[in-house]
């Protein structure tokens, strides 16, 4: 449940490779290879109250799959 829609970031621990939709909007693709570990979710895509999250997994995902919303991105490790 969302009280006040705001920009946020989506992380998918336990998932391997696939795509994410929020309220019917294709947010993007994810893959454990990275380097980016989170997807940007613009606040206007969220509704006050309940929101629909759809995750398409293309490989066998491990146990403990989660969809986590955070206020800061995880862009992976920095390499020169």
Q: Assess if residue 2 is contained within a domain.
A: no
For residues 52 and 1, the answer to whether their CB atoms sit within 8 Å is no
Q: How confident is the model at residue 78 (pLDDT cuts 50, 70, 90)?
A: low
Q: Calculate ∠ Cα 8-21-75, nearest 5°.
A: 45
Q: Assess if residue 20 is contained within a domain.
A: yes
Q: Assess if residue 16 is contained within a domain.
A: yes
Query: Is the pLDDT confidence value at 80 over 80?
Result: no
As a whole number of angstroms, the distance between CA 40 and CA 53 comes to 14
Q: How many domains does the chain have?
A: 1
pLDDT tens sequence across 20-67: 999 999 999 999 887 889 999 999 999 999 999 999 999 987 788 999
For position 18, what pLDDT does the model report? 95
Query: Is the pLDDT confidence value at 79 over 60?
Result: no
Q: Assess if residue 64 is contained within a domain.
A: yes
| Closest to 67 measured CA to CA, from 51, 45, 49, 43 | 51
Range of the domain at 34: 8-70
Q: Assess if residue 56 is contained within a domain.
A: yes
pLDDT tens sequence across 1-25: 888 999 999 999 999 999 999 999 9
As a whole number of angstroms, the distance between CA 50 and CA 64 comes to 22
Q: Assess if residue 76 is contained within a domain.
A: no
């Amino acid at each position: 449940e969302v009280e006040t829609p705001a920009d946020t970031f989506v992380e998918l621990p336990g998932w391997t490779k696939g795509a994410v939709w929020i309220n019917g909007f294709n947010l993007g693709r994810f893959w454990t290879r990275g380097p980016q570990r989170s997807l940007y979710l613009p606040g206007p895509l969220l509704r006050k109250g309940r929101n629909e999250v759809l995750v398409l997994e293309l490989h066998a995902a491990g146990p403990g799959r989660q969809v986590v919303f955070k206020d800061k991105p995880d862009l992976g490790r920095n390499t020169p």
